[in-house]
Structure 1
Amino acid sequence: MTILTWIIAASFLGGALSVLAASVFAYAAKPSWVGRLVSYAIGALLGAVFLEILPHAFEASGNPHTTAATVLAGIMGFFVLEKLVLWRHCHHETCETHGLEQTHNHRHDGHDHGRSGMMILVGDTFHNFVDGILIAAAFLADVQLGIITALAIITHEIPQEVGDFLILLHSGYSKARALAYNLLSSAATLLGGLLAYYALQSMQSLIPVFLGLAAASMIYVAVADLIPGLHKRVGLVVTVEQVLLIGAGIATIAVTEMLVGKYA
């Protein structure tokens, strides 16, 4: 397979198939299943960052200090973006803004005539576009890195898309409309991947920068968005389950890295 074919396939898997899987999951899943999937996604994200993406970024840049500064700037940038982007909008300062928690536990009665849904779609489209860029940058650096990065993105996209899908339903969208708009939004992943492929081929020096930003994005999602939700469920059994699932996510990345490295 060519690099472009890998990017198209991974962008499609990270976009459209994630939405379809999330839609099926949203219909059939119990809330506890979503929590377990989030724990697993945290492990996959952190495993991809620390076992694959950062080592490649440091190696490709040749300047660990510059790469570390890129990661730090990326984390700060994602914090500012999350403050500004309206898809985290909530009418009351005290309500939880995480998609999954807000959906299963919302404090608003009725729907909001599509306002939150539209903001979800705008934010998700931008997020998907960035995911496509990061997937392309990873594949241009190394096919194995691209596969690991795409796997991590797909893993965390499914629970996020479950939350987005349910918020759209709460916002007054029909199931068919919610699915159609989410699929349309997911096309931004492929668009970002294709644009990055053609742009970055002539700017190889920027690949370590995008790898650093990919690491920052995944660290921020795992630590700032997903882990706080786990702390809302306390107890020894729940904690052990969360730790084991996070470990399973990390192990998936480690095993995938070994298998891909062996057969690549």
Structure 2
Amino acid sequence: MTPLMNSMLAGVVAGVLSMLCAALVIYTARPAWVPLLVSYAIGALLGAVFLEILPHAFHHEASPEAVSATVLVGILIFFLLEKLVLWRHVHVHDVAGLEAHAHAHAHEPQGRTGAMVVVGDSVHNFVDGIIIAAAFVSDTRLGMVTALAIIAHELPQEAGDALVLLHSGMSRPRALAFNLFSSMATLVGAVIACLALQSLQKWVPYLLALASASMIYVAVADLIPGLHRRVDLRTSALQMGLIVLGVASIHWAHVLILE
């Protein structure tokens, strides 16, 4: 099989398995579990960023300073985008009633969080497709190992993303549809990379950095503050344990596939 066919097959398999994993989480998780399982999602997001995505970005020819600066700029961009969404939300209501409106909606899930996760995950999956294609172009066996490694670390991350989508207020069918959209980005990235690999390679570290920025922002700015609403010792310990489990699942997926 040609590198293009191998890359397309790997992209389809990765997308289908990710979607099945997300569907399992979306349709089996009870509503009462979601606030606690968001802790796992935080760990999975941060684990994917600091154990997988950024190390890949730093291994490319781009300087660490340039990659780090892209992460910083990305976080600021997502901050401004969120501000714009909030500004638009505020200005469709009567300013005189804003304070009461804000208080009434203080504990509602924020749909923008789910949308930002989809954007970040789509960029990440697109870059995964580029990495798979680059490996298959170099060597078929290397491509297979790379594809397996990417699929292995995608599964726990997709489970975490699915929980974030539910937490953001999306219905189950809509959350699954968004997950399918982001999962198919792997196939798109693989096809485009095979057709224009040389011109895309130099952008890989910066795309990875932007994906990292979106995931860091969602975890730190949108999800972690919600955990502080309950400060009792039992809940705090459970939250910390699930965050660690999310990070560990990314690590184990990486280690197991390499060993």
What residue is the counterpart of 1:93 in the other structure?
102
Gaps of 5+ in 2: 94-100, 132-145
Q: CA deviation at 1:149?
A: 5.3
Task: Provide the TM-score with structure 1 as the length reference.
Answer: 0.71
Alignment of 1:109-128 (within 5 A): 128=118
Q: Select which of 107, 126, 136 maps to 1:136.
A: 126
1:60 aligns with 2:60: yes
1:144–1:261: 8 Å Cα contact kept in structure 2?
no
Within 5 Å, give how 1:220-259 maps onto structure 2: 220-259=217-256
Q: How far is the alpha carbon of 1:184 from its aligned partner?
A: 4.0
Amino acid in structure 2 at the alignment position of 1:77: I
Alpha carbons of structure 1 residues 215 and 144: separation in structure 2 relative to 1, 3 Å: farther
Letter in 1 for 2:118: N
Percent of paired sites with the same residue = 37
Poorly superposed stretches of 4+, deviation over 6 Å: none
> How large is the RMSD of aligned CA atoms in angstroms?
3.2
2:155 pairs with 1:189: no
Distance 1:144 1:224, change over 3 A: farther
CA displacement at 1:212 relative to structure 2? 0.8
Distance between the aligned counterparts of 2:181 and 2:190, measured in 1? 14
Query: Partners of 2:116 and 2:46 in 1: how far apart?
Result: 22
Task: Identify the residue that residue 49 of structure 1 maps to in structure 2.
Answer: 49
Q: State the alpha-carbon separation in 1 of the partners of residues 157 and 20 from structure 2.
A: 13
Between 1:182-191 and 1:44-53, the stretch displaced more is 182-191
**Partners of 1:45 and 1:185 in 2: how far apart?**
17
Aligned to 2:230, the other structure's residue is in SS state coil
1:231 CA drift (Å):
0.5
The alignment's TM-score, normalised by the length of structure 2, stands at 0.73
| Distance in 2 of aligned mates of 1:64 and 1:145 | 24
Change (3 A) 1:186 1:85: farther
Secondary structure in 2 matching 1:61: coil
Check whether the contact 2:129–2:188 (CA below 8 A) recurs between aligned residues. Answer: no
Post-superposition offset of 1:10: 2.8
- The separation in 1 between residues aligned to 2:156 and 2:89, in whole angstroms, is 26
Structure-1 separation of matches of 2:10 and 2:246? 23
Q: Could you tell me whether the CA contact under 8 Å between 2:149 and 2:257 is conserved in 1?
A: no
Q: Determine the C-alpha separation between the residues in 2 that align with 1:82 and 1:11.
A: 28
- In structure 1, the partner of 2:108 is 102
Is the aligned partner of 1:81 residue 2:78? no
Contact 2:162–2:179, Cα closer than 8 Å, also in 1:
no
Structure 1 residue ranges without an equivalent (≥5): 104-115, 169-177
Counterpart residue identity of residue 124, structure 2: L
3-state DSSP of counterpart to 1:102: coil
Aligned in 2, Cα 1:34/1:183: closer, same or farther, shift over 3 Å? closer
Aligned equivalents of 1:50, 1:180: Cα separation in 2: 31
Aligned residue pairs: how many?
A: 227
Asked if the contact 1:136–1:196 (Cα under 8 Å) also holds between the matched residues in 2, the reply is yes
